[in-house]
Amino acid sequence: MARYTGPGNKLFRNYGVKEVSNRKLTSSMRQTHSGQHGAVRKKLSDYAVHLNEKQKIRFTYLVSEKQFARYYQNASRKSGVTGTILLQMLESRLDNVLFRAGFAITRKQARQIVNHGHVLVNGKKVDIPSYLVKPQDVITIKARSSEFVKTVAESIDMAMNSPWMTVDKNEQKITYDRIPEREELDPEFKEQLVIEYYSK
């Protein structure tokens, strides 16, 4: 199943996924695993450590197991650091770009905006959230959808710090200037554990 539809707080408590909302602090939430015995400290096996990190990244970007494995396979075929390329591909998803630009409160909402056909890429309608945006692509909101997305954007204090894109909220336009560098992405991701997971 491509979408996780369960409680977001369980993702945070079990895997450390912080996107309950990109504007709410999760530090006030309990950080022990969900369930009756969640507070019991157990030493995880190497496999469990690798699996948990893979699940954390997968749930953060809202991709299915099959999609995530495909991203890894594609990244491993490219020249460069596989883990970095994997994260760069996930960051380049259209729903994630909208979320990073501050046009949606969560990635779930960004996915819905794309699915409902509100988004144009280089002037053409794209309703596939997993569409990979390329450098110099221009993402805009359809004219008849502009009021809806404007209302969402105005409810958000600020866009995330994403120096690899130029955001014009007045024109509802995003220019994807370049692919982000690894040091610009989430430092809490340990993508090397994901590489080791798939290498076994």
Sign of the Cα torsion 77, 83, 85, 89 reads positive
CATH number of 93-178: 3.10.290.10
What's the pLDDT band for 161 if we cut at 50, 70, 90?
confident
In whole angstroms, give the CA distance from residue 42 to residue 36: 14
For residue range 52-95, what is the model confidence (pLDDT) as tens digits? 899 989 988 989 999 999 999 999 999 999 999 999 999 999 99
Assess contact for 152 and 103: CB atoms under 8 A.
yes
Strands (E) located in 53-198: 119-121, 124-125, 137-141, 165-168, 173-176
**pTM of the full predicted structure?**
0.81
To the question of domain 8-90+187-199 being in CATH 3.40.50.300, the answer is: no
The residue extents of the domains of the chain are 8-90+187-199, 93-178
Strand partners, 68: none
Query: Considering the chain, what percentage of its residues have pLDDT values greater than 90?
Result: 50
The H or E element that residue 174 is part of is strand 173-176
pLDDT in tens, 12-26: 666 667 664 444 444
CB atoms within 10 A of CB 198: 16
Measured from the Cβ of residue 124, the count of other Cβ atoms closer than 10 Å reads: 7
pLDDT in tens, 167-194: 988 888 999 999 999 999 988 899 999 9
Rounded to the nearest 5 degrees, what angle is found at the Cα of 82, between the Cα atoms of 88 and 14?
Answer: 70
Q: Is residue 45 very low, low, confident or very high in pLDDT (cuts 50, 70, 90)?
A: confident
Asked whether the predicted pLDDT for residue 164 surpasses 80, the reply is yes
pLDDT of residue 26: 47
Residue bearing tokens 């509802």: 172
Q: Is the pLDDT of residue 158 over 70?
A: no
Would you say the CATH fold of 93-178 matches that of 8-90+187-199?
Answer: no
Phi and psi (nearest 5°) for 199? Answer: -80, -15
